[in-house]
Structure formats: C-alpha cells, structure tokens
Structure 1
Amino acid sequence: MKKEYAVIGLGRFGGSICKELSKEGLEVLAIDLDEDKVNEYKEIASHAVIADSTDETVLRELGIRNIDHVIVAIGDNIQASLLTTVILEELGIKKITVKAQNDYHEKILSKIGADHVIHPERDMGKRIAHNIMSNNILDYIELSDDHSVVEVKAGNKMSGRSLVDLDIRAQYGCNVVAIKRDKDVIVSPMATEMIQEGDILIVIGADKDISRFEKNLVVEDD
C-alpha cells in the first residue's frame, strides 16, 4: 500500500512539498486555514481542506490518524506549529516532520514529539554559501550537525590525477563515494581511478574535513 501524507500549511515551503509528493503519485491531504491557498491545491493534492490544525476534534474528523507521515509547514505562527505537533503526537501519528523558524523553535519541537525538524532557511543558507565559494561546488547536503555530502566538479587541481595520488581520505579525512562522468556513475571508485576534468565527485565527511578539502582541492585560484 502507498503511504499517505498530510501537509499542514501551504505556504512556499509546504506548497512545494505538496506539489512534489503529488507529482510522484502519492496520496496527499493538504490543509490550511487560508481558503485561497486551499483552492490553489485542490487540483494538485488528493484532498485539500480548510481547517484549523490546532483543533484536535477537526484533525480527528479529517482522519489524520490514518496518515502515515504528517509535515507541519506552518509559516510564522510558532504557537500554532507547536500545538499542532503536540496534538499529532498525542494522536499517535507514525512520523511527524516540522519546519522550524529558529533554533529555539527547533529545540522545543524536538522535545515535544517531532521526529524530524527542518530548518529550510538555515540549511539553504549553508548550501548557497558553499556554492558561492566556487563554481566547482555544485551542491552541499547536511547529513547531521557535523557531517555532510558535497558534490564538486573536478577542476585543474584534480584532473589528470588518480584518487590514490590525491590521497583525499588520508589528507582530508573525506571519502569519494561516487564519480559522475557524463552519463555514467562510478560507485565506490578504485584508488587507481584517474580523475578527468569535468568529473563530478560525491564526497562525504565531517564538515571540518570537507572545508579543508574544498579550500585545498576544489576552490580554484583566480
């Protein structure tokens, strides 16, 4: 059986999640207090309803307890976000993901039952900062508070050299887990694999190690 999802709060963040899940053919219940936003998603989500998520009776009537995963994407109303999360936890929702407005909000959410807390503005800021550093840094994904994955394009400092020659693991404590080359993907590449200019390396490691790797091998001199 397909999992069923609910997205509470249809602003830019919640709306984009709703669209992507729906695009994948998944069952999505879209909820918001704003009638215009709900009308916008009536043709996108499986069901779109005007409802107050801080009212437990309303959520029960919507059958929220049958939903596998609820995403709370309420905008600026931190109180509504917290109260909604508490109600969902009490109703026994299997998985609750909540958007946090700030670090204080995030701490409280983690204590009251949120399974996963998303900090889109902060996380996007980190990704953009890494992209700004160099045209060769294509993407940056945070795995935890101190570990990340970075996607980089091989430039002059790496091209024509093998992984064993670059000695990335020993020198920087990072691991190259895959190499994208045109349409091919080399998973767990051999140490003797020669890096070609334009290759895209998927590198995983601690943030402090990735930072050294980026500064020494990725960021090209002007």
Structure 2
Amino acid sequence: MKKFAVIGLGRFGKKLAVALSMSEAEVIAIDIKRDEIDSIRDQVSHAVRLDSTDEQALISQGVDKADVAVVGIGQRRGGFEAAILTVVNLKNMGVKNIYARAINLVSGQVFKAVGATEVVYPEIEAAQRWAYKLIAPQVTDKIDFAPGYSLARISAGDSFHSKTLVDLQLRKKFNVNLIAIKRGKFAADEKEGKIINVPMPKTIIYKEDILMVSGSDINLAKLPQD
C-alpha cells in the first residue's frame, strides 16, 4: 500500500487527502491549524497538527517514509514561504516524489527549483478544462498525452448518423483519428454497448455512438456538435 503525506488542508489538500484515503491508500494529513485536522481526522489514516517547516516534526510522524508527499499549503499571508521550506525539508528527508500546488507559473518555477518533482496548478488547469468544455461541449472526456494533443470521447450527433467513415472523412476534414466505437441505442442490428476496436472504412456510425478519437485539441474542438 502506498503511503501519502498531504501537507496543507485547504480545499485542494482536504479533497485530495479524502480521495486518496477512499482509494484505500495510507494517508497522513498535516496542517498547522487544529480545526482543519479535526475536520478530517475520521476520514484519513492519520491526521496530525504540526508546523511542516520543522523537519524533525515531519520525521517524527514518518513523513520521510512516504512514497509521495503533496504540498498544498495556501500561498497567502506567508504561506508561500512555508510551502517552499516544506518542499526543501521533504527533499532533504529523501522523499522521492514531491508534488507542490502552485497558484501561478512563477511560484511553480520556484517549487521546481527547490526540489519539487511535479507542480500542480489546480486553478489554471480547472480554468483550461472549463474553457475547453464551453468551446467544445461535444468532447465529454479528454486525456492529455502531449502538449496540445489529446485522446477524447465524443458522442456522435445527427450529422454522423448512418454515415460510414468514408463519408465522414474525419482524418481528411478534421485531421482527427478514430480509435474505437462503442455502440449506442440507435445502432442498427447491433447490441448497445458493443465495442468496435478497429473501425474500418465501411463501418457505419450511428447517432449517440461513443467515439474514441485522437488529435490536437484545436482540431478536436472543430468536430461537429450536432
């Protein structure tokens, strides 16, 4: 079982700690505020109030043995300095995987410079996801696998109904590749939920089929919405 230390129990840290715990991971939740510790005590393996800028205090709770440490300390009113010192402590303690929550790219660069292995930008990432969702509502799920490129799931609209891949010309018109199809309720003579792993040129698409496609985010957003 992996051991996680989540340091800083604001909105991000608390939700992350609880989610990890629900996945049956061992979670040490740490904050300097007693009320934050009390609010999460029954939802994680161990919750402790301490100052994470104190390296010995962290070691006394076994944080040096964590597989992953996440620093989610709020960065206002001296929080940024505390977060930096915490990352430095974790690095000195030999924690191999250190994730730091940053509110902007500049603070992220600082965290990387002092030893964070990964930087998380929840506010920026959430804004980007919502912007894309508003621009391309037909894309219901998206997995980023390279900057600007994604694997996405879309629901086929009326403009796709009863057309073959040759008719649709997804690669030629949109520079998008169709990877797989999950049949919907309008698929003729085929069971709903059937998976077609290798769509062929003569494969017919029906309204509400789920299409797994890959391409650039810009091109995926251009796919028909109806």
What is residue 131 of structure 2 aligned with on the other side? 129
- Does residue 204 in structure 1 map to residue 206 in structure 2? no
- Alignment match of 1:190 (pick from 199, 205, 215): 199
Structure 1 letter corresponding to 2:54: D
What is residue 88 of structure 2 aligned with on the other side? 86
> Is the CA contact (8 Å cut-off) linking 2:175 and 2:219 kept in structure 1?
no
How far residue 187 of structure 1 moved from its aligned partner, in angstroms, is 6.7
Identity of aligned residues (%): 34
The superposition leaves residues 68-125 of structure 1 with CA deviations (integer Å, 9 ceiling, x where unpaired) of 1111111222222222111111111121111111010111222222222111111111
What is residue 188 of structure 2 aligned with on the other side? none
How far residue 48 of structure 1 moved from its aligned partner, in angstroms, is 0.1
The superposition leaves residues 179-222 of structure 1 with CA deviations (integer Å, 9 ceiling, x where unpaired) of 3445737374323443221123233333xxx312322x2334xx
- TM-score, normalising length from structure 2? 0.84
Mind listing any 5+ residue stretches in structure 1 that lack a counterpart? none
Pair member with larger Rg? 2
Please give the root-mean-square deviation of Cα atoms over the aligned residues, in Å.
Answer: 2.2
- TM-score, normalising length from structure 1? 0.85
- Report the CA distance shift for 1:147/1:124 in structure 2 as closer, same or farther (over 3 A): same
Distance 2:130 2:15 in 1: 19
> Is the CA contact (8 Å cut-off) linking 1:98 and 1:117 kept in structure 2?
yes
What is residue 115 of structure 1 aligned with on the other side? 117
- Does residue 44 in structure 1 map to residue 43 in structure 2? yes
- Report the CA distance shift for 1:158/1:214 in structure 2 as closer, same or farther (over 3 A): farther
Q: Secondary structure at the match of 2:158?
A: coil
> Is the CA contact (8 Å cut-off) linking 1:32 and 1:38 kept in structure 2?
yes
- Report the CA distance shift for 1:8/1:180 in structure 2 as closer, same or farther (over 3 A): farther
- Alignment match of 1:102 (pick from 104, 111, 119): 104
What is residue 153 of structure 1 aligned with on the other side? 155
What is residue 4 of structure 1 aligned with on the other side? 3
> Is the CA contact (8 Å cut-off) linking 1:178 and 1:185 kept in structure 2?
no
Distance 1:93 1:39 in 2: 26
Q: Secondary structure at the match of 1:41?
A: helix
> Is the CA contact (8 Å cut-off) linking 1:127 and 1:141 kept in structure 2?
no
- Report the CA distance shift for 1:98/1:175 in structure 2 as closer, same or farther (over 3 A): farther
- Does residue 70 in structure 1 map to residue 77 in structure 2? no
> Is the CA contact (8 Å cut-off) linking 2:178 and 2:199 kept in structure 1?
no
Mind listing any 5+ residue stretches in structure 2 that lack a counterpart? 185-191
> Is the CA contact (8 Å cut-off) linking 1:133 and 1:219 kept in structure 2?
no
Distance 2:145 2:194 in 1: 21
Distance 1:114 1:185 in 2: 44
- Report the CA distance shift for 1:125/1:4 in structure 2 as closer, same or farther (over 3 A): same
How far residue 31 of structure 1 moved from its aligned partner, in angstroms, is 0.4
> Is the CA contact (8 Å cut-off) linking 2:176 and 2:219 kept in structure 1?
no
